């Protein structure tokens, strides 16, 4: 079936993001065109097939080391058997977003800003995705109803809550949509007077930078102030194409910031993290958050210890440019907690955090 589908496909045009999406890798055979797939990887792909979504853009696959299974790009995108193991305390939604979901697409967790989860689709499915059950798990999703349900209740919710001054388009990856669909969403939000800023959360600059076209940027710049949060995890991802995508956004006045997830065996050592963060400054992207990896189902094998994260932070602060250093945070049902000693306490009952409102909770199940 895949064969006949491919037979009707036009040849891959490297610079064309739609062509890249059409040519996404979704089978072991296609992956073999890029890397020497190991037996273990092949087993994992088969085992994950009816459980998790899997696809890789040809561009992102081209960054992979052909012979090294531990390549940081490979580990982020090729399924692993560890995804099927359950760690203690793991849950599908450890950060509690579902409890804050107000409409089909709106997650309202903080007083003045909301997430608008516009899709569950992505260009490349990151194996460590914190919303794995939403983006990848074929059984579970936030969108229990069809993804195509009317957006009116979502816009109405935002319009009827004047405290919301910051709307963050997330998902999934919003840039999976066409320019005209995005234009429609953003222009609707712009009609709401109390929405001051709009943010786009997207990994396209990393996994398919060709998506950041002049046409997209020209459309977006009509809607300033716009902010863009992207997601580089490893210095190998800072390619000339990725740099050009970020440069293009910046030249259209869109501030680009980065959120990294601390991932075991990928970026959990000081030299790699330092190279990533200073590399981001060279492409004028500002490091924003370093997320402690969530203990989500199918993701826990990427988690590092809290001590590891702190050790990296201590090796950065003072040693390098102040604004190269992101905030190291743990996402909890009470919000993001900066992981400095003063915010997280250990007593006989385990680890406790206190959020910005002074609310406290035990976070043992969130830390591996």
Q: Contact positions toward ligand SF4, by CB under 6 A? A: 122, 125-126, 129, 131, 135, 171-173, 203
Q: Distance (Å, rounded) from C-alpha 87 to C-alpha 227?
A: 36
Q: Find tokens 């037996």 and name the residue.
A: 39
113 near ligand PLP, judged by CB under 6 A: yes
Distance in Å, CB of 352 to ligand SF4, minimum: 28
Distance in Å, CB of 260 to ligand PLP, minimum: 14
Which class for 21: exposed (0-12), middle (13-18), buried (19 or more C-beta within 10 A)? Answer: middle
Q: Please say which residue, 234 or 336, places its beta carbon nearer to ligand PLP.
A: 336
Choose one: 17-25, 105-113, 157-165, 312-320; the region binding ligand PLP (CB under 6 A).
105-113
Distance in Å, CB of 326 to ligand PLP, minimum: 11
Which class for 281: exposed (0-12), middle (13-18), buried (19 or more C-beta within 10 A)? Answer: middle
Burial 226-252 (b: 16+ CB within 10 A, else e): bbbbbbbbbbbbbbebbbebbebbbeb
Phi, psi of 286 (to 5 degrees): -90, 120
DSSP output for 304-361:
--HHHHHHHHHHHBTTB-GGG-PEEEEEETTEEEE-SGGGEEEETTEEEEE-TTS-EE
Distance in Å, CB of 42 to ligand SF4, minimum: 22
Q: Please say which residue, 122 or 226, places its beta carbon nearer to ligand SF4.
A: 122
Q: Print the binding letters for residues 325-364 with ligand PLP: x by CB under 6 A, - otherwise.
A: ------x----x----------------------------
Total residues contacting ligand PLP (rule CB under 6 A)? 9
Sign of CA dihedral 49, 55, 60, 61: positive
Q: Find tokens 């405290």 and name the residue.
A: 163
97 near ligand PLP, judged by CB under 6 A: yes
CB 221 within 8 A of CB 251: no
DSSP structural state of residue 12 = P
Q: Please say which residue, 76 or 259, places its beta carbon nearer to ligand PLP.
A: 259
- Interaction partner, residue 107 (ligand SF4, ligand PLP, none; CB < 5-8 Å by kind): ligand PLP
101 near ligand PLP, judged by CB under 6 A: no
DSSP structural state of residue 50 = T
Burial 7-20 (b: 16+ CB within 10 A, else e): eeeeeeeeeebebb
208 near ligand PLP, judged by CB under 6 A: no
- Interaction partner, residue 172 (ligand SF4, ligand PLP, none; CB < 5-8 Å by kind): ligand SF4
Distance in Å, CB of 345 to ligand SF4, minimum: 30
Distance in Å, CB of 113 to ligand PLP, minimum: 5
Q: Please say which residue, 64 or 129, places its beta carbon nearer to ligand SF4.
A: 129
Phi, psi of 239 (to 5 degrees): -100, 170
Which tokens in the block code for residue 27? 């089978």
Distance in Å, CB of 274 to ligand PLP, minimum: 23
Among 168, 200, 208, 316, binds ligand PLP (CB under 6 A): 168
Distance in Å, CB of 144 to ligand PLP, minimum: 18
Distance in Å, CB of 133 to ligand PLP, minimum: 15
Q: Please say which residue, 21 or 361, places its beta carbon nearer to ligand SF4.
A: 21
CB 187 within 8 A of CB 196: no
Burial 132-161 (b: 16+ CB within 10 A, else e): bbbbbbeeebbbeeebeeebeebbebbbeb
109 near ligand PLP, judged by CB under 6 A: yes
Choose one: 6-14, 110-118, 153-161, 276-284; the region binding ligand PLP (CB under 6 A).
110-118
Q: Distance (Å, rounded) from C-alpha 212 to C-alpha 175?
A: 9
110 near ligand PLP, judged by CB under 6 A: yes
């Amino acid at each position: 079936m895949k064969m006949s589908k491919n037979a009707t496909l036009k040849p891959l045009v490297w610079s064309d993001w739609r062509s890249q999406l059409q040519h996404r890798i979704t089978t072991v055979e296609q992956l073999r065109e890029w890397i020497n797939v190991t037996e273990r990887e092949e087993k994992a792909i088969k085992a994950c097939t009816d459980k998790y979504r899997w696809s890789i853009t040809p561009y992102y696959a081209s960054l992979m080391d052909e012979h090294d299974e531990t390549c940081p790009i490979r580990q982020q995108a090729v399924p692993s058997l560890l995804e099927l193991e359950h760690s203690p305390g793991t849950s599908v939604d450890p950060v509690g977003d579902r409890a804050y979901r107000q409409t089909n697409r709106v997650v309202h967790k903080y007083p003045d800003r909301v997430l608008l989860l516009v899709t569950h689709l992505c260009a490349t499915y990151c194996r460590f995705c914190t919303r794995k059950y939403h983006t990848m798990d074929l059984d579970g999703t936030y969108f229990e109803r069809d993804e195509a349900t009317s957006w009116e209740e979502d816009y109405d919710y935002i319009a009827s809550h004047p405290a919301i001054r910051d709307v963050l388009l997330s998902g999934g990856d919003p840039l999976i949509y066409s320019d005209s669909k995005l234009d429609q969403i953003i222009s609707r939000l712009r009609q709401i007077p109390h929405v001051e800023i709009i943010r786009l959360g997207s990994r396209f600059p990393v996994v398919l930078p060709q998506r950041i076209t002049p046409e997209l940027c020209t459309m977006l710049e009509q809607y300033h102030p716009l902010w863009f949060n992207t997601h580089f995890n490893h210095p190998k991802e800072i390619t000339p194409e990725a740099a050009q995508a970020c440069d293009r956004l910046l030249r259209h006045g869109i501030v680009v910031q980065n959120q990294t997830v601390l991932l075991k065996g990928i970026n959990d050592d000081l030299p790699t993290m330092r190279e990533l963060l200073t590399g981001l400054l060279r492409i004028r992207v500002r490091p924003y958050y370093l997320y402690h990896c969530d203990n989500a189902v199918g993701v826990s094998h990427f988690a590092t210890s809290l001590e590891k994260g702190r050790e990296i932070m201590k090796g950065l602060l003072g040693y390098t440019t102040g604004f190269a250093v992101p905030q190291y945070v743990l996402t909890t049902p009470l919000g993001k907690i900066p992981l400095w000693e003063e915010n997280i306490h250990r007593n006989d009952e385990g680890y406790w955090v206190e959020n910005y409102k002074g609310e406290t909770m035990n976070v043992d199940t969130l830390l591996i």
